[in-house]
A and B are shown apart, each in its own frame.
Chain A
Amino acid sequence: MREIWALARKDLRIEARSKVVATQIVPFAMVILVLFGLALDADSRTLRDLAPGLFWVATLFASVLAIQRSIAVETISSTFEALRLSGAPAWKLFAGKALAVAIQLLAIETVLGLGIVVLYRSSFQDPVLIVTAAVAATIAIASAGSLYGVLAVGMGVRDTILPMLLLPIMMPVLVAATRAFGDGLGTAALNGWTWAGLLGLLAVVYATAGALAYAVVIEDT
């Protein structure tokens, strides 16, 4: 556990100093919210009804950038080899990288949450459900993203491939997270907790797949 946290803290410290997420990715996510508002004619009723879906689409787009950044901090100075030399098992390296991404994504989602309250007039009717669903979805996105992020680097792989690999497999997460938020924001009459449960299952599946596959893919970075 200490190794996982040490690795996550390293990435968070790099972010604290470089402020790429804070000054580029968070503003990008807000730009997406504003773009949706303009594209959908700024009808507040429509925006409020669609807020759960728009929130998660914005989060997914921002997550692609956050994952690319998480991988770039290793490739810029070729530190993947150093990570492997640290002697920590591959699954711990995976968990550390994914944890750092998850924490950054939660920060982005917090800002986006405020964004939909201010811009789309959303209201958090069931905050516990919202937070639970957001944490589970974030673990799923960060896990799948950290694995695919590594698959999309090194050995001449083009980094433009990441969205095309990641976004199609994130569609179940999008469906489930949107439904859970629909209940939590009071825009849809359904049982959000069932969807939060599915998100929990997805988080477990992607975290397990990532932990198992990381050893295979990190060899050639």
Chain B
Amino acid sequence: MSTALSRPHVASTSSKLTLVLGVASLLGLAVLLVFSFVLTDPDQRVFERGADLEPLLTGQGDAVRLLYVHFPVAMVTYIAFTLNAIGSIAVLWKKSTWWDNTAAAAAEVGVLFCGLTLATGSIWGRPIWNTWWKWGDVRLMTTTILFLIFIGYLAYRRTMSDSRVRAKRSAVVGLIGAINIPIVYKSVDWWQNRTLHQQSTLRNRSVEDLTLFTMIFGMVVFMAIFAWLMVHRFRIGWLEHQTETVGLEAAIIERRAQTSAAISDAVTDSRSSAETGSD
């Protein structure tokens, strides 16, 4: 144990897997940019609407390109928070450190992606909805409240030093946050009962094949980035856990060794001085 501690360079979060995953993610991101900005066309569709409304509604133009990022990061956000909920259940059920670490990593990466979802959505909303922010839009409000709940979760994790207590209590906070998601969704839905968000365009197949491909490719790329960050964050958490438990034990053993060495030195000294004295 003390050998491992004396060689801190061994404690790295990278491996061949993360190297491959990282390079693949970055290359994928570059390819996604080419697809989003060069190969796909701006949204120039024209929709016919009822006679009482403005008769024609044009598509989103170049702003549609932002959705190749916004939609995948939003999906990854929800996957991350679902993973946190699964991890929290596993912690309470099996008292597993591995799952606690997974839940913590998922929450942290999830908050990052949630922030990106809000930011990209806001930038997209400016030209399309003509506003940065829309109170009452059910998905925007749900995502915002989710963002705040999980910032609270991360802040809460940082307040405790005992890893066993932290795991258990954070699991309760994470689960109550998760229970709250459908409640928030439903209450905002009732509150304003309107959304500016478009309904699923993928389902009714009104998009072109290349647009659809870019969207799905974006999902794959951001899932890879998510996995890459998760592995690193999980390993950091694991090393922190090792420092807390193994590190403390090693420090105690080392200290005891020093103390017993000092005691035996003192005993030897006193014996030799006693012998010298008797001579």
Q: Do A and B come from one complex?
A: yes
**Which residues of A are in contact with B by a Cβ distance under 8 Å?**
144, 147-148, 151, 155-158, 161, 164-165, 168-169, 171-172, 175-176, 179, 194-195, 198, 202, 205, 209, 213, 216-217, 219-220
> Given A155, A164, A220, which contacts B151 in the complex, CB threshold below 8 Å?
A164
Q: Chain B nearest CB: distance from A139 CB in Å?
A: 15
DSSP class of A's interface residues: helix, strand, loop or mixed? helix
Contact A151 B172 (CB under 8 A): yes
The complex places the Cα of A158 from the Cα of B158 at a distance, in Å, of: 10
Identify 17 new A-B residue pairs, CB closer than 8 A, beyond the known A147-B172, A156-B161, A209-B179.
A155-B160, A156-B160, A157-B159, A164-B155, A165-B152, A165-B156, A168-B149, A168-B152, A169-B149, A171-B145, A195-B190, A202-B183, A216-B92, A217-B168, A219-B168, A220-B162, A220-B168
Q: Say how far B111's CB is from chain A's closest CB, in angstroms.
A: 13
Given contacts A165-B152, A205-B179, A220-B165, contact A175 B172 (CB under 8 A): no
Residue count of chain B within 8 Å CB distance of chain A: 28
| Closest A residue by C-beta to B183 | A172
13 A-B interface contacts by CB (under 8 A): A144-B176, A147-B172, A155-B165, A157-B160, A161-B152, A164-B156, A165-B152, A165-B173, A168-B152, A176-B187, A198-B190, A216-B92, A216-B172
Q: Are A175's CB and B168's CB within 8 A?
A: no
- Residues in A with CB closer than 8 Å to B179 are 205, 209
- Taking CB atoms, residues of chain B closer than 8 Å to A161 are 152, 155-156, 159
CB <8 Å contact, B162 and A156:
yes
Decide: A169 and B176 in contact? CB cutoff 8 A.
Answer: yes
Bound: A179/B162 CA distance, A: 42
Q: Once the chains bind, are A198 and B156 in contact (CB under 8 Å)?
A: no
CA distance A179 to B180 in the complex (A): 19
- Looking at A151, A168, A202, the one whose CB has the most chain B CB atoms below 10 A away is A168
Interface string of B178-214 (1 = CB under 8 A from A): 0110011001101100000000000000000000000
Q: A70 CA to B177 CA in the complex, in Å?
A: 23
Interface residue? B148 (CB, 8 A): yes
